């Protein structure tokens, strides 16, 4: 069942998603060699609570933390830990917040210092593919148009698309219908309607597409041990042009010319 949101609900979703964007911006200030991912998690949780919201992931299905901190070959759902970031790492920070009963959900993958050129290129392509997918998130298109555009953009550049994990509807629940795969066929899937709110979140691998889930039941990594990148926006489907409810502006203000 796909719930179409009213304009009022979309404004509440924007508030929650902007707070997630601001939280990612706060985390961005601290990403450098030597900081633990647990410390980043504490910074995010405090920031969200200080802004009158609650972390969206903490306790969700038993997830222990405010952010998913997925370093290098981790695809998604990494637990924040004592691990201290090192020069050359990449870290995807996926963050959720609930405000006024609505969810925000957004992800940015950061470089720790200087990263290898091939890894930086993976990050850039993954981010570009997110915006290409968003271009298709307009009234009258089909979900498969989003999926196919992301897949073809990334595969044409030699990367592979994780199949087992998808984007999703967002609203009062963190994960609502429909699923939004990052692969598929044009002209297939649900018709996109005004007021659909979805998270689009390409998870793109430098090597092969296969993943392994670790024994903690959450942490997902690439089978071949090569890096994986992840960018995510929550958007509202509108006529002509999608409305992006989350924001990378706060992150990119901090990163400046180091933005992906």
- Contacts of Mg ion in 143-182 (CB under 5 A): none
Find the part of the chain contacting Mg ion (CB under 5 A) among 27-35, 86-94, 139-147, 186-194. 86-94
Nearest CB to Mg ion, comparing residues 187 and 217: 217
CB of 105 vs Mg ion, minimal distance in Å: 4
Q: Are 206 and 228 in contact (CB under 8 A)?
A: yes
249-256 long-range contacts, Cβ below 8 Å, gap at least 24? 249/21, 249/25, 250/21, 250/22, 250/24, 250/25, 250/26, 250/28, 251/21, 251/24, 251/25, 251/28, 251/108, 253/25, 254/25, 254/28, 254/29, 255/28, 255/110
Find the part of the chain contacting Mg ion (CB under 5 A) among 22-30, 144-152, 156-164, 228-236. 228-236
CB of 126 vs Mg ion, minimal distance in Å: 14
Size of interface with Mg ion, in residues (CB under 5 A) = 5
Nearest CB to Mg ion, comparing residues 58 and 157: 58
HEC profile of 66-94: CEEEEECCEEECCCCCCCECCCCCEEEEE
CB of 70 vs Mg ion, minimal distance in Å: 11
What x/- string results for residues 19 through 38 when contact with Mg ion is judged by CB under 5 A? --------------------
CB of 157 vs Mg ion, minimal distance in Å: 23
CA dist 57 and 96 (Å) reads: 6
CB of 33 vs Mg ion, minimal distance in Å: 25
CB of 77 vs Mg ion, minimal distance in Å: 10
Report CA torsion sign: 202, 110, 160, 58: negative
Find the part of the chain contacting Mg ion (CB under 5 A) among 87-95, 125-133, 218-226, 245-253. 87-95
Find the part of the chain contacting Mg ion (CB under 5 A) among 107-115, 221-229, 242-250, 251-259. 107-115
Q: Is the peptide bond before 178 cis (omega within 30 degrees of 0)?
A: yes
What x/- string results for residues 52 through 71 when contact with Mg ion is judged by CB under 5 A? --------------------
CB of 95 vs Mg ion, minimal distance in Å: 7
Q: Does 199 bind Mg ion (CB under 5 A)?
A: yes
DSSP string, 109-161: EEE-SS--HHHHHHHHHHHHHHHHHHHT-BTTSBHHHHHHHHHHHHHHTT-EE
Report CA torsion sign: 115, 249, 204, 121: negative
Per CB under 5 A, residues contacting Mg ion are 94, 105, 107, 199, 232
């Amino acid at each position: 069942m796909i719930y179409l949101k009213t304009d009022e609900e979309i404004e509440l979703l924007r508030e929650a998603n902007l707070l997630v964007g601001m939280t990612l911006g706060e985390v961005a200030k601290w990403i450098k060699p030597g900081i633990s991912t647990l410390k980043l998690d504490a910074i995010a949780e405090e920031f969200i609570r200080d802004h009158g919201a609650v972390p969206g992931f903490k306790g969700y299905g038993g997830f222990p933390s405010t952010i998913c901190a997925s370093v290098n070959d981790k695809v998604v759902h990494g637990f924040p830990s004592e691990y201290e970031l090192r020069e050359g790492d990449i870290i995807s920070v996926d963050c959720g917040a609930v405000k006024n009963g609505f969810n925000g959900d957004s992800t940015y993958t950061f470089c720790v210092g200087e990263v290898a050129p091939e890894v930086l290129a993976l990050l850039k392509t993954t981010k570009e593919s997110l915006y290409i997918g968003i271009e298709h998130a307009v009234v009258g298109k089909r979900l498969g148009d989003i999926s196919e555009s992301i897949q073809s953009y990334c595969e044409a550049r030699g990367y592979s698309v994780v199949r087992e994990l998808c984007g999703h509807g967002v609203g009062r629940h963190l994960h609502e219908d429909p699923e939004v795969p990052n692969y598929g066929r044009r002209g297939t899937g649900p018709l996109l309607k005004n007021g659909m709110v979805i998270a689009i979140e390409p998870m793109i691998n430098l090597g092969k597409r296969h993943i392994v889930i670790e024994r903690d039941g959450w942490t997902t990594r690439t089978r071949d041990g090569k890096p994986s990148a992840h960018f995510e926006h929550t958007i509202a489907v509108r006529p002509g042009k999608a409305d992006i409810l989350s924001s990378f502006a706060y992150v990119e203000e901090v990163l400046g010319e180091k933005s992906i």
